[in-house]
């Protein structure tokens, strides 16, 4: 069949571009790429980069929704580009923007350093309740004890929940949903004894009480981590902890 006889279906992507060396402010650019039924938004972006405009910048790696690199706003919603298939989006142009609430470094690349600092700030490692040597073997942990924190350990650090969080949008110092989920992942672990130390990091004005319980963070989470639930559990823990301080010898600090 001559090529002209085959109508090539295309899809249009409207992408928010920003090149710090040449652009004063971000502006949309439009691209049309051939559409196939199994194409992801990431593959469409790769097609643009490989064939139309090599200057388009975005992060990606695993292509299978586990490395957390390719979060972006797709039609206004925070999503991973790799597991968002074009066929599941409404007809018409697809709008692509960098993740909300983060400074844009270039095109779809946002600054991630502050997010990593938040993760580091909550003591994201086991502080053993009862230290043990390797020679003494593994700790016992029943499936029920595992289930108490397992879903919070599934966070891939994709930052979609931060893009969804209105509170983080207003106050970039807010500890935010992802770090709270990680905190709950360790505080809920039967092997851990660092609960108090971590709770102390979230009492302040940028801590757990900043959350206004919108719940959009859990809605956009691609791994069903349910950070809103982690935040709520920690509000309870934080309140309980606050109350206990008055009962403890030494009282409030």
Partner 1 sequence: MDHIDADVLIIGAGGAGLRAAIAAAEADPSLTIALVSKVLPMRSHTVAAEGGSAGVIQAHDSLENHFNDTVHGGDWLCEQDVVEFFVERCTPELIQLEHWGCPWSRKPDGQINVRAFGGMKIERTWFAADRSGFHILHTLFQTSTKYPSIKRFDEYFCIDLLIDDGRAQGATVFSPSTGEFTAITARAVILATGGAGRVFRQNTNGGIVTGDGMALAYRHGVPLRDMEFMQYHPTCMPGTGILFTEACRGEGGHLLNKDGYRFLQDYGLGPVTAEPRNKTMELGPRDRLSQAIWQEERKGRTMTTPAGESYVHLDLRHLGAAKLKERLPLICDLAEEFMGIDPATAPIPVRPAVHYTMGGIEVDIRTATTLAGLYAAGECSSVGIHGANRLGSNSLGELTVFGHVAGDEAVKFAKGAPAAQGGKLLDQAKASAAKVLGLRDQKGGGERHAVLRKEMATTMEKGCGIYREASEMQKTCDKLAELKRRYRDITLEDRSSVWNTDWICAVELGYQLDVAEAVAYSALMRRESRGAHQRIDGFEKRDDVNFLAHSLANYRDGAAPEISYGPVKITKSQPGERAYGALGEALEAKEASHA
Give first-to-last CA distance, the chain, whole Å: 81
8 Å CB contact between 94 and 74: yes
Structural tokens at position 42: 């990431």
By CB under 8 A, the residues from 47 to 76 that bind partner 1 are: 49-51, 53-55, 57-69
Q: Does 124 bind partner 1 (CB under 8 A)?
A: yes
Among 72, 81, 180, 182, interactor with partner 1 by CB under 8 A: 182
> Per DSSP, what are the bridge partners of residue 94?
13
Site string for partner 1, 5-34 (x = CB under 8 A): --------------xxxx------------
**Kind and range of the H or E element at 216?**
helix 216-220
Closest distance between partner 1 and the C-beta of residue 246, in Å?
32
Q: Does 196 bind partner 1 (CB under 8 A)?
A: no
- Give the nearer residue to partner 1 in terms of CB position, either 197 or 245: 197
Burial class of residue 226, CB neighbours in 10 A (0-12, 13-18, 19+)? buried
- Give the nearer residue to partner 1 in terms of CB position, either 8 or 239: 8
Closest distance between partner 1 and the C-beta of residue 8, in Å?
15
**Kind and range of the H or E element at 239?**
helix 227-247
- Give the nearer residue to partner 1 in terms of CB position, either 30 or 224: 224
Burial class of residue 240, CB neighbours in 10 A (0-12, 13-18, 19+)? exposed
Among 153, 171, 195, 201, interactor with partner 1 by CB under 8 A: 153
The Cα-based distances of 182 to 136, 143, 173, 194 in angstroms read: 27, 19, 17, 13
> Would you tell me which residues interact with partner 1 (CB under 8 A)?
19-22, 36-38, 40, 49-51, 53-55, 57-69, 83, 85, 105-107, 109, 111-113, 116, 119-120, 123-126, 128, 132, 134-135, 137-143, 145-146, 149-150, 153-154, 156-157, 182, 186, 189, 191-192
């Amino acid at each position: 069949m001559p090529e002209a006889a085959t109508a090539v279906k295309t899809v249009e992507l409207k992408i928010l571009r920003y090149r710090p060396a040449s652009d004063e402010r971000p502006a949309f650019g439009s691209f049309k790429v051939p559409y196939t039924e199994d194409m992801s938004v990431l593959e469409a972006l790769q097609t643009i980069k490989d064939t139309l405009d090599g200057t388009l910048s975005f992060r990606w790696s695993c292509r299978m929704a586990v490395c957390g690199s390719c979060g972006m706003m797709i039609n206004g919603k925070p999503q991973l580009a790799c597991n968002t298939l074009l066929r599941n989006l409404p007809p018409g142009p697809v709008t692509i923007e960098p993740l909300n609430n983060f400074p844009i470094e270039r095109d779809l690349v946002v600054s991630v350093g502050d997010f990593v600092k938040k993760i580091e700030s909550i003591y994201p490692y086991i502080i053993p309740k009862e230290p043990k040597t390797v020679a003494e073997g593994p700790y016992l942990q029943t499936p029920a004890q595992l289930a108490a924190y397992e879903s919070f350990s599934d966070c891939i650090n994709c930052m979609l929940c931060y893009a969804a969080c209105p509170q983080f949008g207003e106050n970039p110092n807010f500890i935010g949903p992802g770090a709270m989920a990680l905190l709950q992942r360790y505080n809920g672990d039967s092997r851990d004894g660092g609960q108090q130390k971590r709770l102390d990091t979230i009492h302040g004005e940028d801590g757990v009480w900043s959350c206004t319980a919108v719940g959009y963070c859990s809605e956009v989470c691609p791994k069903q981590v349910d950070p809103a639930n982690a935040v709520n559990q920690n509000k309870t823990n934080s309140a309980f902890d606050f109350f206990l301080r008055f009962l403890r010898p030494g009282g409030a600090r």
